[in-house]
Amino acid sequence: MISDSPDISLHLRRMMVETQLRGRIGSERVLDAMLRVPRHLFMPPEIRPFAYEDRALPIGENQTISQPFMVAVMTEMLEPRETDRALEVGTGSGYQAAVLSLLCREVCTVERIRPLYERATATLAELGYGNVSTYLSDGSIGLPDHAPYDLIIVTAAAPNVPEPLLEQLADGGRLVAPVGLRYEQALVLIEKAGGEFRQSWSTPCVFVPLVGRHGFLSGDE
């Protein structure tokens, strides 16, 4: 098994970075973070043999862990700095938060599904990602008590960027989210400067829907 052999898992991560990401991802910091985080340990044991393939995989509760390229491209779009505070909406497995934690000063991540929240919290703690704080809540309203954030990443699809997240973005901050129709989105980058927002569109994608007050579903459906 991958999890029983650090040498094999490191080899597979190197292959992932060199064959799937390099050439499409220009940031060496992002590539290094992807190399360092053991993606397979954020997955249920039965799917770990597929951990370093370039595809999304199920992690239970009708949720997925994003394909490595999507994790890398969204992280690169954020342009994380070592001094940044980041908010992640949709903890899922905890993998994206782990990648960000190597690039930022602090990561706050929020998940609405208790089993995923508990599993990710335990995994992040066990693997030593001490600058990640996990929260169980409706991510579509963000974490206002801990705002503002230099970076915000949304890992579920929404028809529009939730207004509370824009309010919690620091001046000079960057937000990345998949926005569009229920089964067809594109990544949007929003940059805040002087109280004004500028947006640009990037990679087409398909994410699970953001559930919550400002998502596709209310959470009661």
Domain range summary for the chain, segments of one domain joined by +: 54-205
What is the C-alpha to C-alpha distance for residues 164 and 74, in angstroms, rounded to an integer?
20
Class of domain 54-205 as given by CATH:
alpha beta
Is there a catalytic annotation at residue 5? no
Chain centroid to CA 28: how far?
18
**pLDDT by position in tens, the chain (length 221):** 454 566 678 999 999 999 999 999 999 999 999 999 999 999 999 999 999 999 999 999 999 999 999 999 999 999 999 999 999 999 999 999 999 999 999 999 999 999 999 999 999 999 999 999 999 999 999 999 999 999 999 999 999 999 999 999 999 999 999 999 988 999 999 999 998 999 999 999 999 999 999 887 665 44
What is the C-alpha to C-alpha distance for residues 219 and 188, in angstroms, rounded to an integer?
24
Strands 63-65 vs 85-89: parallel, antiparallel or unpaired? unpaired
pTM of the prediction? 0.94
The catalytic position among 3, 9, 27, 66 is: 66
